């Protein structure tokens, strides 16, 4: 299935991390007026931990447009995809990205009149892209100024939703499960699943669907066979303590503290792919810690917050535009409060 590109022109591509011989890239877009130390918004794409690209059809043009209007640098970043890599590798990539943005190499890539204000970097992630975004809020230096997630995972990976098998979701019908053995046999590192003009890239999302059906999402995302079943045999309250030490850092909700950045969450109440409970849980967690936070639940909104089947570009779900606008106001207020005087 082909689709027109919604990725804007004018982006500059740079390599922000090299692991072995594998290069991981980002695209950055400068605002029309480029002078001084500018705020930055990072966007992480979704794709079930296994698929997607910084330049695929999920690109949030509304977030890019807002960045252009407000004078923010906009960055769309790839990260290593699960299998053969894991969520722990995605944490390392989030750390590497922030280190790169604060370093001399990126400074040299920018025009002389422009720099990144490292005290005003917002990280955003949608669906599985919320995982590296949330990881950055725990592990990255410099620490993000704020977080925005849309229908995002990583808020609570100990829920039954991730430890047991479940019926196919509405997006499962778009993948070819027969390709799973072939994809698993391919051990090449992948951080960009983009195929020009083709929705779904190389088809790697079939891995995610297979894992969800089998209750092995955690097994596949962390490279730990049997982990989901072991956790599922326990009461919810016992699961965190039962995690193997080497994978515990991947459950980022266990490492949220009062130093977590201000955070805003947008989620549809009818999301069957990533439960709204993940956003609710983190919102309540942050409130208890005294961290500034907002939660905007979109009534009956599905995963992705679009009216699927409405043609391309997809129409936004009722109430989602208003929720995103409120989320943008939240980010703008945080960035304004941190502006140097």
**What pLDDT does residue 332 have?**
98
Q: What is the pLDDT of residues 206-252, one digit of tens each?
A: 999 999 999 999 999 999 999 999 999 999 999 999 999 999 999 99
For the cut 50, the answer to whether the pLDDT of residue 149 exceeds it is yes
Q: How far from each other are the two terminal CA atoms of the chain, in whole angstroms?
A: 51
**What pLDDT does residue 104 have?**
97
Is residue 101 within 8 A of residue 109, CB to CB? The reply is: no
What region, left, alpha or beta, does residue 298 occupy, with left being phi > 0 and alpha being psi -120 to 50 degrees?
beta
Q: Which of 72-81, 162-171, 254-263, 315-324 has the lowest mean pLDDT?
A: 162-171
For residues 13 and 97, give the distance between their C-alpha atoms in angstroms, rounded to a whole number. Answer: 14
Is residue 135 within 8 A of residue 252, CB to CB? The reply is: yes
Is pTM, for the whole model, over 0.85? Answer: yes
- Token reading at 256: 């949220």
For the cut 90, the answer to whether the pLDDT of residue 254 exceeds it is yes
Res. 339 pLDDT band, cuts 50 70 90:
confident
Query: What is the arrangement of strands in the sheet containing 114-126, beginning at the earlier edge strand?
Result: 12-19, 22-29, 73-77, 36-44, 114-126, 146-150, 263-268, 293-298
Q: What is the pLDDT of residues 151-204, one digit of tens each?
A: 999 999 999 999 999 998 888 888 999 999 999 999 999 999 998 776 677 899
**What pLDDT does residue 169 have?**
83
For residues 121 and 133, give the distance between their C-alpha atoms in angstroms, rounded to a whole number. Answer: 12
- Which of 293, 311, 301, 241 is closest to 274 using CA atoms? 301
**What pLDDT does residue 225 have?**
98
For residues 226 and 18, give the distance between their C-alpha atoms in angstroms, rounded to a whole number. Answer: 31
Average of per-residue pLDDT across 124-139: 98
**What pLDDT does residue 340 have?**
58
Q: Three-state SS string across the chain, please?
A: CCCCCCCCCCCEEEEEEEECCEEEEEEEECCCCCCEEEEEEEEECCCCCCCCCCCCCCCCHHHHHHHHHHCCEEEEECCCCECCECHHHHHHHHHHHHHHHCCHHHHHHCCCCEEEEEEEEEEEEEHHHHHHHHHHHHHCCCCCCEEEEECCCCCCCCCHHHHCCCCCCCCHHHCCHHHHHHHHHCCCCCCCCCCCCCCCCCCCHHHHHHHHHHCCHHHHHHCCCCHHHHHHCCCHHHHHHHCCCCCHHHCHHHHCCCCCCCEEEEEECCCCCCCHHHHHHHHHHHHHHCCCEEEEEECCCCCCCEECCCCCCCEECCCHHHHHHHHHHHHHHHHHHCCCC
CA 197 to chain centroid, in Å, comes to 22
For the cut 70, the answer to whether the pLDDT of residue 1 exceeds it is no
**What pLDDT does residue 146 have?**
98
Residue 170: HSE in the Cβ half-sphere, 13 Å Cα cutoff: 12
**What pLDDT does residue 341 have?**
43
């Amino acid at each position: 299935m082909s689709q027109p590109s919604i990725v804007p022109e004018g982006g500059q591509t740079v390599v922000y991390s090299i692991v072995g011989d594998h290069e991981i890239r980002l695209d950055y877009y400068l605002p029309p007026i480029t002078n001084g130390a500018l705020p930055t918004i990072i966007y992480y794409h979704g794709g079930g931990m296994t698929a997607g690209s910084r330049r695929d059809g999920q690109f949030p043009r509304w977030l890019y447009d807002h960045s252009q209007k407000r004078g923010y640098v906009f960055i769309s970043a790839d990260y290593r995809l699960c299998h053969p890599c894991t969520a722990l590798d995605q944490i390392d990539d989030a750390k590497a990205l922030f280190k790169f943005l604060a370093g001399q190499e990126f400074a040299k890539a920018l025009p002389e009149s422009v720099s990144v204000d490292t005290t005003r970097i917002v990280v955003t992630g949608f669906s599985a892209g919320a995982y590296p975004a949330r990881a950055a809020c725990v592990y990255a230096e410099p620490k993000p100024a704020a977080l925005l997630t849309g229908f995002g995972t990583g808020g609570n990976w100990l829920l039954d939703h991730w430890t047991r098998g479940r019926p196919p979701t509405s997006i499962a019908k778009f993948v070819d499960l027969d390709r799973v053995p072939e994809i698993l046999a391919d051990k090449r590192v992948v951080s960009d699943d983009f195929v020009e003009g083709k929705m779904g890239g190389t088809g790697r999302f079939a891995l995610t669907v297979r894992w969800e059906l089998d209750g092995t999402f955690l097994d596949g995302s962390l490279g730990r066979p049997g982990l989901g079943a072991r956790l599922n045999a326990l009461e919810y309250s016992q699961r965190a303590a039962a995690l193997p030490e080497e994978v515990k850092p991947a459950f980022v909700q266990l490492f949220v503290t009062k130093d977590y950045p201000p955070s805003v969450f947008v989620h549809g109440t009818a999301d069957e792919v990533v439960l709204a409970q993940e956003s609710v849980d983190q919102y309540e967690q942050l409130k208890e810690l005294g961290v500034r936070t907002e939660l905007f639940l979109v009534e009956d909104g599905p995963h992705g917050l679009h009216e699927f089947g409405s043609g391309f570009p997809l129409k936004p779900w009722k109430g989602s535009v208003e929720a995103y606008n409120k989320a943008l106001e939240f980010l703008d207020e945080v960035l304004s409060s941190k502006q140097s005087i």
